[in-house]
């Protein structure tokens, strides 16, 4: 987690673009937001027709067509890039750029050192509400190929600006206001009942935000602070940066209070009793009530 150093002001934009290593800034101050900045990574066009390039391409295909490609492993109506935006290149949307060099990594949620493959399976089991992939199988290998390729040129073990997600100053959500703001800002793409829409129904159709087709309670996105930060910077998809911080917390409070699939075993998370304060369930090591 990192502070929001890439601020979306026109004045700071040039500095931001340089510091974040993003693409050329747009001349228009309206379109010129930091929201769409990408971390520097190899271009798809640099892939050739050799075995390594083919593995990387297969990996990307799994990350973008996750449910169709891995029907026995995905429970949610989501794909990896539903959250890891722009094929894992978007700054502050948990980009995969550099992720290869950040593992193995100690994870307080499991209390163990995890390999990249295990971190990916965490997102499959929680964020896709699915079943883990065999770590030794060709699908996991190809996904790791893609992440390692995207990470080429980054410094191993070093976190850079734009990694992870914004860390906003926590605000107390008002879920009644959040319901109204959801209708105003989100329903047109994610549907008034939050169950998502189809591409045939609307441009930039958004996937489910709650209910059976959504990520389960064990996902990081089910935490108010994580969702508020994601929404504040990246949503609405076609107008990012237009939802104020308080409204983002209100909406996140409303959305995370809706029903979603359970994650059996969640009470064993954070075995050392150090869950973040916005985890919405009690853990054995520390009974924690959800806080903003």
Q: Which stretch binds ligand HEC (CB under 6 A): 2-10, 24-32, 73-81, 276-284?
A: 73-81
Distance CA 146, CA 135 (A): 15
> Would you count residue 219 as binding ligand HEC (CB under 6 A)?
yes
For residues 77-95, one letter each, b for 16 or more C-beta atoms within 10 angstroms of the residue's C-beta and e for the rest, the string is bbbbbbbbbebbbbbbbbb
Residues near 46 by Cβ (< 8 Å), separated by ≥ 6?
A: none
In the set 20, 81, 91, 224, which binds ligand HEC (CB under 6 A)?
A: 81
In the set 13, 17, 231, 279, which binds ligand HEC (CB under 6 A)?
A: 231
Least Cβ distance, residue 29 to ligand HEC (angstroms): 21
- 3-state class (DSSP) for residue 55: helix
In the set 56, 191, 224, 251, which binds ligand HEC (CB under 6 A)?
A: 251
> Would you count residue 123 as binding ligand HEC (CB under 6 A)?
yes
> Would you count residue 189 as binding ligand HEC (CB under 6 A)?
yes
Nearer to ligand HEC, 13 or 214 (CB): 214
> Would you count residue 232 as binding ligand HEC (CB under 6 A)?
no
> Would you count residue 260 as binding ligand HEC (CB under 6 A)?
no
Q: Which stretch binds ligand HEC (CB under 6 A): 25-33, 40-48, 220-228, 277-285?
A: 220-228
Q: Which stretch binds ligand HEC (CB under 6 A): 10-18, 47-55, 92-100, 169-177?
A: 92-100
Distance CA 10, CA 240 (A): 15
For residues 258-268, one letter each, b for 16 or more C-beta atoms within 10 angstroms of the residue's C-beta and e for the rest, the string is eebbebeebee
Nearer to ligand HEC, 25 or 253 (CB): 253
For residues 21-42, one letter each, b for 16 or more C-beta atoms within 10 angstroms of the residue's C-beta and e for the rest, the string is bbeebeeeeeebbbbbbbbebe
One-character DSSP codes across 105-124: EEETTTTEEE-HHHHHHHHH
# residues contacting ligand HEC (CB under 6 A): 48
Cα-Cα-Cα-Cα dihedral sign, residues 9, 12, 15, 16 = negative
Cα-Cα-Cα-Cα dihedral sign, residues 242, 126, 94, 68 = negative
In the set 92, 149, 230, 263, which binds ligand HEC (CB under 6 A)?
A: 230
List residues binding ligand HEC (CB under 6 A): 63, 66, 78-84, 94, 96, 99, 102, 119-120, 123-124, 127-128, 143, 163-165, 185-186, 188-190, 204, 206-209, 215, 219-221, 226-227, 230-231, 235-238, 243, 251, 255
């Amino acid at each position: 987690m990192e502070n929001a150093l890439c601020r979306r002001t026109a004045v700071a934009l040039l500095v931001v673009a340089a510091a974040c290593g993003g693409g050329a800034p747009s001349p228009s101050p309206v379109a010129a937001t930091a929201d769409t900045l990408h971390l520097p990574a190899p271009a798809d066009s640099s892939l050739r027709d050799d075995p390594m390039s083919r593995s990387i391409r297969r990996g990307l295909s799994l990350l973008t067509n996750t449910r169709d490609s891995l029907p026995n492993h995905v429970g949610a109506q989501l794909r990896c890039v539903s959250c890891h935006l722009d094929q894992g290149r978007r700054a502050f949307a948990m980009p995969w750029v550099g992720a290869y060099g950040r593992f193995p990594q100690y994870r307080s949620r499991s209390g163990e050192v995890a390999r990249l493959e295990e971190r990916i399976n965490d997102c499959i089991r929680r964020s896709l509400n699915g079943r883990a992939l065999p770590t030794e199988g060709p699908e996991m290998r190809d996904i790791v190929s893609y992440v390692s390729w995207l990470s080429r040129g980054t410094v191993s073990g070093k976190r850079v600006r734009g990694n992870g997600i914004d860390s906003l100053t926590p605000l107390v959500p008002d879920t009644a206001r959040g319901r109204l703001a959801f209708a105003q800002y989100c329903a047109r793409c994610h549907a008034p009942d939050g169950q998502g829409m189809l591409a045939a129904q609307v441009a930039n159709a958004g996937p489910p935000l709650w209910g059976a087709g959504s990520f389960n309670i064990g996902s990081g996105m089910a935490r108010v602070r994580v969702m508020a930060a994601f929404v504040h910077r990246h949503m609405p998809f076609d107008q990012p940066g237009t939802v104020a911080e308080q409204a983002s917390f209100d909406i996140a409070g409303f959305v995370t209070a809706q029903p979603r699939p359970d994650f059996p075993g969640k009470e064993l998370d954070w075995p050392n009793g150090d869950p973040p304060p916005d985890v919405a369930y009690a853990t054995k090591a520390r009974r924690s009530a959800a806080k903003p």
